[in-house]
Amino acid sequence: MNRPWLRWVWFGVFLFVVISLQCSHVFQIYQVLPDLLLVVFALFAIFQDRFTAEMVGFVVGLLVDTLTGGWFGFHAFLYTFVAWFVGVYQKKFFVDTFRGFLFFVFWITALKYLIFFLFSFIIKGQWLGSSGYFLTWFGEWLYNTLWAVLFFFVVPPLFFREE
């Protein structure tokens, strides 16, 4: 029995749980909160075509922006950008291997903070330049990497294409 819709239902349930955990700040340590959805969409974009990953990233990003009350459009742009970035550079980074995926999580976490600084400059008109942001970025990268290990080995059956 081939039921591709069932895979999307399970993926929707998984996304609901991840969004709930991320928005509730359950895993926050000091001021560091892992971006679980960033890791999930990086993994999702590996196994899906680029257009599907970008559309799902945009919709879920808008949902997160609505739930968190931050800059509206930031997460939508971020997750769409991550899906695009994976689609374009996945052959160069070899993100389907474990080491390549961990290296890729480092880069997308760095890109997230670069996009955050650019949004801050555009919206507030000033650069955010303090050592606290570097420590937060380092902590989030470390935390994202730990979650990436778990997600890389446990979650991919939800994302495989039926061939």
pLDDT of 11 higher than 50: yes
Is 111 a domain residue? yes
DSSP alpha helices (H): ranges in 4-97? 4-24, 36-47, 50-68, 74-93
Is 124 a domain residue? yes
Q: What is the pLDDT of residue 163?
A: 45
Please report the DSSP string for 113-153 in residue order: HHHHHHHHHHHHSS----HHHHHHHHHHHHHHHHHHHHHHH
How does residue 132 score in pLDDT terms, banded at 50, 70 and 90?
Answer: low
Contact present, 121 and 127 (Cβ < 8 Å) = yes
pLDDT of 161 higher than 60: no
Lowest mean pLDDT: which of 43-47, 100-104, 127-131?
127-131
State the sign of the Cα–Cα–Cα–Cα dihedral 124, 129, 132, 137.
positive
pLDDT of 98 higher than 50: yes
Contact present, 102 and 95 (Cβ < 8 Å) = no
Is 161 a domain residue? no
Q: Which domain holds residue 142?
A: 67-155
Q: What is the pLDDT of residue 93?
A: 65
Is 5 a domain residue? no
Is 31 a domain residue? no
pLDDT of 61 higher than 80: yes
Q: What is the pLDDT of residue 35?
A: 84
Lowest mean pLDDT: which of 37-41, 87-91, 127-131?
127-131
Our count of domains for the chain comes to: 1
pTM: predicted TM-score of the whole model, two decimal places: 0.79
Is 141 a domain residue? yes
Contact present, 144 and 39 (Cβ < 8 Å) = yes
Is 27 a domain residue? no
Is 110 a domain residue? yes
Lowest mean pLDDT: which of 10-19, 109-118, 132-141?
132-141
For the beta carbon of residue 102, count every other beta carbon within 10 angstroms. Answer: 15
Contacts of 38 (CB under 8 A, 6+ apart): 78, 79, 82, 108, 109, 112, 144
